[in-house]
């Protein structure tokens, strides 16, 4: 069997050992976290420990962490007119989202379609700050949602600068930090975020858990799911204790190893990109001129089709994806690359390579060997340099 290497960490990461152990322990608990008996209190304790661990990852107060089924739900919970900030209790009158947001943000959450406006990004996928200032003048109490880092390109947004502009315009800022958390610094105060979404499975926890984190004094007054009083009346339903415990353990582990992992991943990613460019001079790497996550590389080569490239990579033992792999496995033209005004033919061929904390040099070599095979079979007639295309 072909040796396999996984390069799709932005879609989902493997479960960390710490998360597996925490989940296994939590699965052994019987109590409902809302019950007052000692079984219930044990389940409660596991949830509250996870709340502390998740809060620490983003420098927040544990009481401001609301567990959800994932970042999609956290985004839906956050994007509502029903937000209060201290004494400012009037509903938000307009939502502004960047053109490169995840579909769960671009959908506009719980705002009416007519209240949602898309913010322009430049050709590197970075929010245009001058355009942001102009756009915000149209609202009295805006809510702005800009991601920390993009899932397709890895491009990092200037969140602190955006926060300054948003707050000066009487606005609140929501940050989808799913791809940044555990990879780059994600301190809420340093970012200036009022609300922040996290997903467990991108940082080594289980799928189906996430959180919305609020700055002190920010309140969501309209829950998305009503019923019981769980999560301080903000998210009804008996908690998924094992998933939450696994999320907490993963957040703590990610926090501890973040800096070392980032340095290693960046070196490996850069090595891949240098070799890719040397062997395939026509390759274009998106967002290469701006600050990106240490683990992500989105590239395209004229004439390459993402669907066939991904299948060919897979047959050669390599898991990669096209830009967005979030839904049904369908390869669609990337909305992110469209927002960046990338050439449509080139964008159709974009392949995303994303690394993680266990990625090795040997795996990068496997990736490069596979690329030469993929390229030599799919890019007939194009010049490939360096390594022999076996
Ligand atoms: N935001 C971003 C930037 C993402 O990459 C993803 C996952 N693809 C989500 C939100 C949704 O997260 P979840 O899978 O936890 O719903």
The b/e string for 16-48 (b: 16+ C-beta within 10 A; e otherwise) is: bebbbebbeebeebebebeeeeeebebbbbbbb
* pLDDT (tens digit per residue) in 310-327: 999 999 999 999 865 444
> Are 60 and 168 found together in one domain?
yes
Which stretches does DSSP call E strand in 146-262?
172-176, 195-199, 210-214, 218-220
Banded model confidence at residue 370, pLDDT cuts 50, 70, 90? very high
Examine residue 385 and state whether it is found in any structural domain, yes or no: no
Q: Which atom of ligand 1 is nearest to the CA of 199?
A: 15
Domain identity same for 269 and 370 = yes
Task: Please write the tens of the pLDDT for every residue from 227-272.
Answer: 999 999 999 999 999 999 999 999 999 999 999 999 999 999 999 9
Q: Is residue 390 part of a domain?
A: no
- Is 216 part of a structural domain of the chain? yes
Q: Which residues line ligand 1 (CB under 6 A)?
A: 70-72, 102, 104, 147, 151, 176, 178-179, 199, 210, 326
- Catalogue the E-assigned strands of 99-186: 116-119, 142-145, 172-176
Q: Return the ligand 1 atom nearest residue 149 CA.
A: 3
> How confident is residue 151, by pLDDT bands cut at 50, 70 and 90?
very high
Q: What is the Cα–Cα distance from 240 to 69, expressed in whole angstroms?
A: 9
Examine residue 149 and state whether it is found in any structural domain, yes or no: yes
DSSP 8: B
What is the pLDDT at residue 383? 60
On whether both 229 and 309 belong to a single domain, the answer is no
Alpha helical stretches, state H, 219-303: 230-233, 241-279
Token pair belonging to 347: 């964008």
Give pLDDT tens digits for 51-70: 999 999 999 999 999 999 99
Domain boundary among 217, 252, 287: 252
Which one of 54, 109, 151, 296 would you pick to mutate in the ligand 1 pocket, going by the greatest count of ligand atoms within 8 A of its CB? 151
Q: Same domain, yes or no, for 126 and 150?
A: yes
Q: Is residue 272 assigned to a domain?
A: yes
DSSP 235: S
Taking 80 as the threshold, does the pLDDT of residue 206 lie above it?
Answer: yes
Identify whether residues 242 and 262 lie together within a single domain: no
Q: Tokens representing 361?
A: 């040099």
294 domain-assigned: yes
Which of the listed residues 201, 221, 252 is the one where a domain comes to its end?
Answer: 252
Do the bridges between strand 351-354 and strand 296-300 make them parallel or antiparallel, or are there none, so unpaired? antiparallel
Q: Do 226 and 288 reside in the same domain of the chain?
A: no
Q: Are residues 228 and 289 in the same domain?
A: no
Q: Is the pLDDT of residue 198 over 50?
A: yes
**Would the pLDDT of 381 be above 70?**
no
Distance 150 CA to ligand 1 centre (A): 10
When pLDDT is averaged across residues 29-34 and rounded to a whole number, the result is: 97
The domain total for the chain is 2
If asked whether residues 140 and 271 sit together in one domain, one would say no
Question: Do 131 and 156 sit in the same domain of this protein?
Answer: yes
Please tell me whether residues 39 and 184 are part of one structural domain.
yes
Q: Give distance in angstroms: CA of 87 to centre of ligand 1.
A: 32
In a domain, 280, yes or no: yes
Residue 186 falls in the annotated catalytic set: no
Percent of the chain beyond pLDDT 70?
A: 95
Distances 224 to 63, 185, 198, 231, 368 between C-alpha atoms, Å = 18, 29, 17, 12, 45
Domain that holds residue 99: 17-252
Residues 307 and 362 grouped into a single domain:
yes
Dist. CA 195–CA 220, nearest whole Å: 10
User: Looking at 56, 266, 285, 326, which residue is catalytic?
Assistant: 326
Q: Which of 229, 252, 275 is the last residue of a domain?
A: 252
* CATH number for 277: 3.90.1150.10
Give the CA distances from residue 42 to residues 18, 49, 139, in Å, rounded to whole numbers and listed in that order. Answer: 19, 11, 47
Is residue 337 one of the residues assigned to a domain? yes
- Report the CATH number that the domain containing residue 95 is assigned in CATH: 3.40.640.10
pTM of the complete model: 0.96
pLDDT at 326: 44
Cα angle value 251/193/84 (rounded, 5°): 115
Position 8 pLDDT exceeds 70: yes
Judge if 209 and 283 occupy the same domain.
no
DSSP state of 91: P
- Give pLDDT, residue 333: 80
Strands ordered across the beta sheet of 116-119: 65-68, 210-214, 195-199, 172-176, 142-145, 94-98, 116-119
């Amino acid at each position: 069997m072909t040796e396999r290497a996984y390069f799709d960490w932005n879609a989902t990461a493997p479960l960390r050992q710490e998360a597996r152990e925490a989940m296994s322990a939590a699965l052994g608990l019987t109590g409902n976290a809302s019950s007052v008996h000692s079984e219930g209190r044990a389940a409660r304790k596991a949830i509250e420990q996870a709340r502390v661990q998740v809060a620490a990852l983003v420098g927040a107060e544990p009481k401001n962490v609301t567990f959800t089924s994932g970042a999609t739900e956290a985004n839906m919970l956050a994007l509502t007119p029903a937000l209060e900030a201290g004494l400012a209790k009037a509903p938000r009158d307009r939502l502004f989202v960047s053109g490169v947001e995840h579909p769960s943000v671009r959908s506009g959450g719980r705002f009416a379609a007519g209240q949602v406006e898309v913010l322009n990004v430049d050709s590197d996928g970075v929010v245009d700050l001058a355009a942001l200032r102009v756009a915000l003048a149209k609202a009295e109490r805006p809510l702005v949602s800009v991601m920390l880092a993009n899932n397709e390109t890895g491009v990092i947004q200037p969140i602190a600068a955006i926060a300054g502009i948003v707050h000066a315009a009487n606005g609140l800022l929501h940050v989808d930090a799913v791809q940044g958390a555990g990879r780059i610094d994600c301190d809420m105060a340093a970012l200036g975020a009022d609300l922040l979404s996290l997903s467990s499975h991108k940082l080594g926890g289980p799928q189906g858990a996430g959180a919305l984190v609020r700055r002190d004094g920010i309140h969501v007054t309209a829950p998305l799911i009503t019923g019981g009083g769980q999560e301080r009346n903000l998210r009804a339903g008996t908690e998924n204790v094992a998933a939450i415990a696994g999320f907490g353990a993963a957040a703590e582990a990610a926090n501890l190893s973040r800096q070392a992992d980032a340095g290693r991943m960046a070196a490996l990613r850069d090595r891949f990109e240098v070799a890719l460019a040397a062997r395939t001079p026509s390759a274009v790497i998106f967002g290469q001129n701006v600050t990106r996550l240490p683990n992500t590389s989105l590239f395209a080569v004229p004439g390459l089709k993402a669907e066939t490239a991904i299948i060919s990579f897979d047959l050669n033992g390599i898991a990669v994806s096209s830009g967005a792999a979030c839904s049904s496995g369908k390869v669609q033209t990337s909305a992110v690359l469209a927002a960046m005004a990338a050439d449509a033919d080139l964008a159709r061929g974009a392949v995303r390579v994303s690394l993680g904390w266990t990625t090795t040099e040997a795996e990068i070599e496997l990736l490069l060997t596979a690329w030469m095979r993929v390229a030599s079979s799919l890019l007939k007639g194009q010049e490939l340099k360096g390594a022999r295309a076996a």
